[in-house]
Amino acid sequence: MGKLEALLHKASYLRKAHFPLEIYFDYPFHTLTISVTGSYCALKCAHCGGYYLRSMKPIWEARAHLSSASSLLISGGCDPSGRVPVTAHLEEIKSIAPGRRLNWHVGFISEREALAIAPYVDVISFDFVGDDETIREVYAFNRTVDDYLNTYRMLKRYFKVIPHITIGLRGGKVGHEHKALRLLLEEGVRGLVFIVFTPTPGTAYADKPPPPVETVAELLAEARILFPQTPIALGCMRPHGDYRKRLDPLAVRAGVNRIVSPAVEALREAREMGLAVKRTEECCVFDL
């Protein structure tokens, strides 16, 4: 038995030992993604370059798109310090929040800002990086792992916080992820979301390949083994096409609890493993 098969076998056993025989497939049609900065981001990070902000609704246009939204993802571009200006349009967010669950992507906000948004927060999504060199290369700002840890600790005092780890963040290279997992094991987590580096047009990493599918599957299995009782999701940001067809069934075997917009191969794998498939139509973090 090779390394991957051994990890998948152990991870699958632990999942079945600690969770019901079910898996959630999330199709977030009813979560409206909103940017408080429109398409602007000061950082222009190597893996994103502001590209993904273009698919979000600017906060000043959000009200026109609320008809089918039972929840909101509040995000936006960062300032040069890695902070999303979450209070800049807080009055507008307050006005559209009632009756909806809110997931916030906040970056390195201050405690004062955290307290300002607290009444309107159901969950915080917090990107976590475990290696200083990766931070410098990808984000090109003066932050360290300690900054991530300190912000995470502060946010945990007030909110349900779900760390997000990007596998292959450094242009498809894997390295920071193992350190991130061990740091979070020490800190404690309520849930984990993994996303996968995807080459994106117009970015510094546009020509870099995503990490090998088998490497991603190994990391997912290792996470399940390290966190046997923690809900784990494979999030929406990962390559499409053949990559997803190969990865998603391996993620099922690796013991994840949720997959966002899975390939049909994941459904087949789940059924073969005897897992009941449950569908939701909101962002995966709300129910982690």
How far lies 251's CA from each of 5, 19, 137, 160, 195, in Å? Answer: 12, 16, 28, 24, 12
Q: Are 193 and 219 spatial neighbours (Cβ–Cβ below 8 Å)?
A: no
Asked whether the beta carbons of 45 and 3 are under 8 A apart, the reply is no
Name which of 10-14, 44-48, 186-190, 202-206 the model is least confident about.
Answer: 44-48
Q: Report if pTM > 0.85.
A: yes
Cβ atoms of 103 and 283 within 8 Å: the answer is yes
Q: Residue 107 has what DSSP assignment?
A: B
pLDDT-derived band at 49 (thresholds 50, 70, 90) equals confident
Averaged over 231-242, what is the pLDDT?
97
Whether the predicted pLDDT of 172 surpasses 80: yes
Kindly tell me if the per-residue pLDDT of 1 is higher than 70: no
Q: Say yes or no to pLDDT of 141 above 90.
A: no
Domains of the chain: 3-287 (3.20.20.70)
Whole-number pLDDT of residue 61: 96
Give me 130's structure tokens. Answer: 């475990």
**pLDDT at position 270:** 98
| Structure confidence at residue 142 as a pLDDT band (50, 70, 90) | confident
Q: Which two tokens stand for residue 193?
A: 């979301």
What mean pLDDT comes out for the span 4-14? 97
pLDDT at res. 188: 97
- 183-203: average pLDDT: 96
As a whole number, mean pLDDT of residues 134-156 equals 95
Contact 65, 32 (CB under 8 A): yes
Q: For position 190, what pLDDT does the model report?
A: 97
